Chains A and B, each alone.
Chain A
Amino acid sequence: MVSEINRPQERFNWFKMFWTGFTNMSRLSKTLWIVAVVKLIIMFFILKPFFFPNVLNTKYEDDADKAQHVRTELFKKAPVTE
């Protein structure tokens, strides 16, 4: 068991922490990064643009039109409005 250096020997460098952290990653960490990045690519570059368009934003540009669309939908679904 090797004793731990409890206090940093040099001034803490944020960039260096990330740099050494990423460059010295274990095999497990690399696998997890791959899984996370592939998942995010699927979510944001396939699912979101091709399967999950924002219905109101793709049909209308301004808020008044969006409000009118929702108003029409709410009336259409209600059994009473004329």
Chain B
Amino acid sequence: MDLLSASAVNWSRAQFALTAGYHWLFVPLTIGLGLIMAIMETLYVKTGDEKWKFATKFWQKIFGINFAIGVATGLILEFQFGTNWSNYSWFVGDIFGAPLAIEGIFAFFMEATFISIMFFGWNRVSKKMHLASTWLVFVGASLSAFWILVANAWMQYPVGMEFNPESVRNEMNDFWAVAFSPVAYNKFLHTTFSCWAVGAAFATGVSGWYLLKNRHTDFAIKSIKISAMVGLVAFVMLAVTGDGSAYHVAQKQPMKLAAMEGLYEGKEGAGLVAIGMLNPAKTVYNDDVDPYIFKIELPKLLSLLGYRNINAFVPGIADIVDGGYTLQDGTTALPFEERQARGRRAIQALADYQTAREEGRDTDAANHETILRENYAHFGYGYLENGEDLIPNVPLTFYSFHLMVMIGMYYILFFMIILYFIYKKSMNTTRWLQYVALWSIPLAYLAGQLGWVVAEVGRQPWTIQDILPVQAAASAISAGNVKTTFFMFAVLFTGLLIAEVTIMVKQIKKGPDTTTTDEA
């Protein structure tokens, strides 16, 4: 790959990361606050207590600000598919298009319909109808996320498709395999709980600020009760679904797991690194340098999490590149060179198939198609030059993963303490905890961003696991164009973020409206 196109690929990757990262500042709060306000409105409808209504309307207002400013930021990612990643867009065909189309229908019809009732319908529809609308806004947003995550999960674990050499597209032959692949539903659950976590941390932090200022204390305590319970459930479920993610990553993307743990040499009964520092002197995967400066390990836990067996062999980076270890199905892992040769055979077969078709040699074309199918599982390896190309950025993946887990653990403890002080009825007098609640808000966002770094950086060099590396997925466009739009997006999104924070802070300072005015 020449320098110019390498630069264009890297700028395209940076641009996608930038826009996805900013987009993910808005989405979790939409889903998380969606749940919290739905629970509060349910309590209002059940008890008739107007204070729950005021609380609901306050969080709906914050939800509305976040929704209005964040809406459609995800579409920019779709713009990039057609411009920066046109090979990829064509190659994935309807597999990517179908979930995104369903998402569009859900996002547009379901959210738009029920959001309008939620904001405009107070006093215009019955209480129960309004409550149903609020819940359906939350359900609609979650379902939208589901279909996006189905598309993402397919890239990590491509199933339910067949490659058509004529159209050069992967064509979906099993919708349900794509929609309900184990990676997809686990990813959906893990990501959804991370949204609940952000909503809960945000509502708890803002309520903590009211307590610090000694304003709206009754509202703040009510909000903390709900958000802390949601937060505790969310973070416990994040641990549970995180375990599911680790299991699937071990099965489907062992290189990502090895990078998450900084594991270069595989072993049986592998431990999970609780805390560690990687050795920057380790520059080559198969040198003799110790990959850690220090580490504290939980014995055998990585084998247990990854393979449900405390003595299972967990392959390290060197094992995955060099092959030769026994896979779960009893076969032997192929070395990189073999997979590269098979990938090149598949690419050559695709070229030969095309030539044979053009020359009307149908029997030859059929033979080349057979060779292509036999080697298609290794197609992407044909684009890589050496084994090191298989290795993602280990320090970034390792530290992102461990920091994310640490924040998760911190929050479980945090919400347990909050609920204890709520139970003791001393939350409104415990100022240190109110400060902690307020200053913990960014940590929940950080954890969500780190989760995506682990998922996306950890799967490099692939856009589609084993099938298409990033350099083959990118369009032949100049780096200059991508750079220009990168900085435009940086400005646009930063502007939107500043607008969001400014408007939100202003509304938070105003506090909940305890009159019954029902204007939207």
Contact = CB atoms under 8 A, between A and B. Distances in A.
A18 B61 CA distance: 18
Nearest to B76: A43
Nearest to B83: A52
A12 B116 CA distance: 14
Contact of B68 (A26, A36, A48): A36
Interface string B159-170: 000000011110
B79 A28 contact: no
B514 interface: yes
B354 interface: yes
A17 B520 contact: no
A32 B169 contact: no
Interface in B332-375: 344, 347-348, 350-351, 354
Interface string A44-80: 0001100111111100000100110011011101111
B370 to A, nearest CB: 18
Given A17-B117, A35-B499, A43-B76, A82 B123 contact: no
B79 A20 contact: no
Contacts of B475: 55
B126 A8 contact: yes
B472 interface: yes
Contact of B166 (A26, A67, A73): A67
B126 A7 contact: yes
B124 interface: yes
Give the interface size bracket for B toward A: 35 or more
Contacts of A24: 519-520
Given A12-B124, A18-B120, A24-B519, A80 B344 contact: yes
B166 A25 contact: no
Contacts of B485: 47, 51-52
Nearest to A24: B519
Contacts of B75: 43
B14 to A, nearest CB: 16
Interface string B105-144: 0000000000011011101111100000000000000000
Given A21-B116, A78-B472, A12 B516 contact: no
Interface in A8-49: 8, 12, 16-18, 20-21, 24-26, 28-29, 31-33, 35-36, 39-40, 42-43, 47-48
B426 interface: no
B86 A54 contact: yes
Contacts of A28: 61, 65, 503, 507
A77 B471 contact: yes
B125 A2 contact: no
Interface in B497-520: 499, 503, 507, 514-516, 519-520
Contact of B82 (A18, A55, A78): A55
A29 B124 contact: no
Contact of A35 (B68, B80, B347, B484): B68
Given A24-B519, A55-B83, A70-B91, A35 B69 contact: yes
B167 A63 contact: yes
B488 interface: yes
A30 B341 CA distance: 61
A62 to B, nearest CB: 12
B126 A6 contact: yes
B167 A32 contact: no
B219 to A, nearest CB: 14
B119 A40 contact: no
Contacts of B65: 28, 32
B79 A47 contact: yes
A51 B516 contact: no
Given A25-B520, A36-B69, A55-B475, A5 B123 contact: yes
Nearest to B50: A1
B472 A77 contact: yes
B87 interface: yes
Nearest to A26: B519
Given A51-B484, A75-B347, A4 B519 contact: no
Given A24-B519, A75-B351, A79-B385, A36 B71 contact: yes
B66 to A, nearest CB: 10
A43 B471 contact: no
25 contacts: A2-B515, A4-B50, A6-B126, A7-B127, A8-B123, A26-B520, A35-B68, A36-B69, A39-B69, A39-B492, A39-B496, A43-B72, A43-B79, A52-B79, A54-B83, A56-B86, A66-B90, A67-B166, A73-B87, A73-B472, A74-B350, A75-B350, A75-B351, A77-B471, A80-B382
Given A2-B515, A26-B520, A52-B80, 14 more contacts: A24-B519, A26-B519, A43-B75, A43-B76, A47-B76, A52-B485, A54-B86, A55-B82, A55-B475, A73-B472, A74-B87, A77-B1, A79-B382, A82-B348
Interface of B: 1, 50, 53, 61, 64-65, 68-69, 71-72, 75-76, 79-80, 82-83, 86-87, 89-91, 116-117, 119-121, 123-127, 166-169, 344, 347-348, 350-351, 354, 382-383, 385, 471-472, 475-477, 481, 484-485, 488, 492, 496, 499, 503, 507, 514-516, 519-520
The 9 nearest A-B residue pairs measured at CB: A21-B120, A54-B82, A32-B68, A55-B86, A52-B79, A80-B344, A81-B351, A70-B90, A52-B83
